[in-house]
Chain A
Amino acid sequence: MKFKAGAKSELTFVGSLFALGVLVFWDTWRSELPEINLTISPKLFPYIVSILLMALSTILFIQILRGDLATPEGLEPGDKIEKSDMRTFLVVLASLFAYLLLVERAGFVIANSVTFVGISYSFGNKNLVKASGVAVLLSTIIYFCFTKFLHVPLPSGIFKGLM
């Protein structure tokens, strides 16, 4: 079978939504009800939602097979759809994961600076020294604003005792 360009990846996306529906259905089915008498089971609503999700993704799946492909945001119908730049995508994603991994281990200032520089780089900034300077300055200001003025505690990490 011959697909239009981009149809395969969109089918995968819609297929994963169907899988999400299956997951919700399975999770609801296997869970054990507590021994209380309820007029309406707490399982009813999840069942409805999962069936809705599976049904809708099936319909969209068929529509895509018939050639009704999505128009990405910011484009007009009929515009040429270019492939995403996967390398940049991964740099952004890595910057996000860096935050997750670093924030409690190395502290807020380091995590925030690493993410800032990473995102700045992925948007095409070549001057990483300048970006790092901006990042550290900004992160330090935010850190003190949050901990001192807004009284929202942020992890000091390796600077514990210093800050």
Chain B
Amino acid sequence: MSSAHSLLDGFASALTLSNLMFGLLGTFLGTLVGVLPGIGPALAIALLLPITYTVSPSSALIMFAAIYYGAMYGGSTTSILLNTPGESGSVITALEGNKMARNGRAGAALATAAIGSFVAGTIATLILAFTAPTIADWAIQVGSAEYVALMLVAFSTVSSLLGSSQIRGFLSLAVGLVLGLVGADLQSGLSRLTFGNDAALEGIETVTVIVSIFALGEALYIASRFKETGWKIIPMKGRALMTRDDWKRSWKPWLRGTAIGFPLGIIPAGGSEVPTFLSYSVEKSLSKNKGEFGKGAIEGVAGPEAANNANAAGALVPLLALGLPTSATAAVILVAFQTYQIQPGPLLFTTNPDLIWTLIASLFIGNTLLLILNLPLVRFWVQLLKIPRTYLFAGIVSFAMLGAYALNTSTFDLSVAIAIGIVGFLFRRYGVPITPLILGLILGPNLELQFRRALQISAGDYGTLIASPLSKALYLTLFLVIVAPNAIKLVNKLKAKSKK
């Protein structure tokens, strides 16, 4: 069956009333968490994971996908009107968008962000619908040894590209791997790092870690360091509309942003910072109005916003086709799949085709709903920012504790949550990125499994790890991305020293 045909079937099942309602709820919640600074899409989905007990897989996943896209729409609103990016992909938007709002052009900035996100999201989802099955077809032949190499590449790029310091990224990954070790080893029954605690034998709940490292860590951090910082909303005049000139200046950046964002989402480049920044610098260098950059150039909003959305769609390709999440949010969606005993990966397109095509179709629907919801309702979203921060954080924290407890109705999970919350505080304080930890926790056990499987097949011959051409290519990439830049840096340093 062709992709186009499957996609139509997907639309048919996504457009049932109940699925549509879940999609609508997701776009609403997604925009909400995007608008509110401090809660990102990863945390929102993690908090809602308990509903996977009572809702069908397709409804839950439709809702989560809508939250995923919705958070980016909401994030741009906050960046533009508040200069406080709601999530990492909107940091660049704040640069020009907030300046535009200060010049009284908030409406145009919001419009170009929303329409650009829609254009980019639609194009990127279309490409996703046609590339993911192809990649999955090819990936079915990928063996355990190659998977080990793939995961190592994903680990390394995410750890080294996020944040300012490579070594801190890798440390975060290592802590995540340690957390993934806790519990009884599946093959031998050997209990690891449980220290005699029976509750720990089952391992540490991924959801608990995600919820507490984001929600509790953030609360501890903000309360003890940025309590005084309030929010200053720039009032919006007029409606969210663009002039003819705005359209003329926006459409090319939208398309260029899509072209930059999507491929960078597929390869694990560590989230949306890199593509949005890249798009911004491309627009700046191509623009005829270079002087406007830094003072509110519409291209600087249109490009990065499109790149951000296309990037999010791109990140779904490795998640669905390979089972490899490349961002924190994708990792949480992976966990959502797993709670339904569904393993994303190459087989997904053959074992659960209905689910996957419904999900992809609902991405289109969600994207359209978001455009319709967002522009007319922008004033409503701005009102939400007037909820006092004290209640907002109190609500987030108590909901996170409830989520940790309700998972197994066990107080052991609550102790874990508090401990992880403290880790989250320390990571923020000492500039350690959090996403690598989550990847390490989720993919670590998988890495070990594939590693052992590969060596069992080869009867203990380590040569099997680099036997295939794909593995060789992946390790070469790893070398080029991680080792080479550092080696060049070192050589340059030594040269500079010898000159002195």
Determine if chain A interacts with chain B: yes
**A residues less than 8 Å from B353 (CB atoms):** none
Provide the residues of chain A in CB contact with B467, threshold 8 Å.
none
Would you list the 3 A-B pairs with minimal beta carbon distance, nearest first? A70-B431, A125-B390, A89-B224
Are A150 and B430 within 8 A (Cβ)?
Answer: no
Given A92-B224, A93-B418, A39 and B452 touching (CB < 8 A)? yes
Count A-side interface residues using an 8 Å CB cutoff. 79
* Interface hits, A119-163 → B, CB 8 Å: 119-125, 131, 134-135, 138-139, 142, 146, 150-155
| From B178, B395, B411, contact of A53 by CB (8 A) | B178
Across-interface contacts of B389 in A (CB, < 8 A)? 123
B225–A82 touching, CB < 8 Å? yes
Instruction: Kindly provide the distance from the CB of A101 to the nearest chain B CB, expressed in whole angstroms.
Output: 9
**Does B393 make an interface contact (CB < 8 A)?**
yes
The stretch of B24-32, B169-177, B289-297, B317-325 in contact with A is B169-177
Is A119 in contact with B219, judged by CB distance below 8 angstroms?
Answer: yes
Which applies to chain A's interface (DSSP): helix, strand, loop or mixed? helix
Q: A39-B452, A73-B221 are in contact. Are A123 and B393 (CB under 8 A)?
A: yes
* Complex alpha-carbon distance, A153 and B409, angstroms: 8
Among A96, A103, A112, A124, the residue within 8 A (CB) of B411 is A103
Tell me which of B177, B188, B395, B432 contacts A70 (CB under 8 A): B432
- Residues of chain B from 204 to 250 with CB closer than 8 A to chain A in the complex: 216, 219-228
With a 10 A CB-CB cut-off, give which of A93, A117, A151 has the most chain B CB atoms.
A93
Supply 20 A–B pairs (Cβ within 8 Å), ascending by A: A10-B430, A34-B188, A38-B188, A40-B456, A45-B448, A46-B193, A49-B174, A53-B174, A57-B171, A59-B167, A73-B428, A77-B164, A85-B225, A89-B425, A95-B397, A115-B397, A122-B223, A135-B394, A142-B402, A152-B406
Contacting pair A28 B192 (CB below 8 A): yes
B190 touches A100 (CB 8 A): no
Docked CA distance A17–B402 (Å): 29
In Å, the complex CA distance between A71 and B433 comes to 11
B87 to A: closest C-beta gap in Å: 13
Assess A89 versus B220: contact at CB under 8 Å? Given A42-B188, A84-B225, A124-B227.
yes
Any chain A CB within 8 A of the CB of B334? no
On chain A, the residues within 8 Å of B174 by CB distance are: 17, 21, 49, 52-53, 56
Tell me, in angstroms, the Cα distance from A14 to B431 when the chains sit together.
Answer: 12
Task: Return the chain B residue nearest A49 by Cβ.
Answer: B177
Q: Does A106 touch B at the CB level, under 8 Å?
A: no
CB distance from A70 to the nearest CB of B (A): 3
Q: Is there a chain B Cβ closer than 8 Å to A33's Cβ?
A: yes
Q: Which of B3-11, B47-55, B120-128, B131-139 contacts A (4 or more CB under 8 A)?
A: B47-55
Tell me which residues across on chain A come within 8 A of B426, comparing CB atoms: 13
Report which of A50, A99, A120, A146 forms a contact with B401, defined as CB distance below 8 A: A99
Name the one of A40, A49, A71, A146 contacting B452, with C-beta atoms under 8 angstroms.
Answer: A40
Closest Cβ of chain A to B143, distance in Å, is 16
B463 at the interface (CB under 8 A from A): no
Smallest distance from the beta carbon of A9 to chain B beta carbons, Å? 8
Q: How far is the CA of A122 from the CA of B136 in the complex (A)?
A: 49
Q: Tell me if B191 and A84 are in contact (CB < 8 A).
A: no
Instruction: Report Cα–Cα, A42/B102, bound state, in Å.
Output: 59
- Chain A hits for B165, CB < 8 A: 68, 70
Tell me the bound Cα distance from A52 to B170 in angstroms.
Answer: 9
Q: Which residue of B lies closest to A43 (CB)?
A: B190
Asked whether, in the complex, the Cβ of B188 is within 8 Å of the Cβ of A72, the reply is: no
Per-residue contact bits, chain A 8-26, to B (CB 8 Å; 1 contact, 0 not)? 0010011001001101100
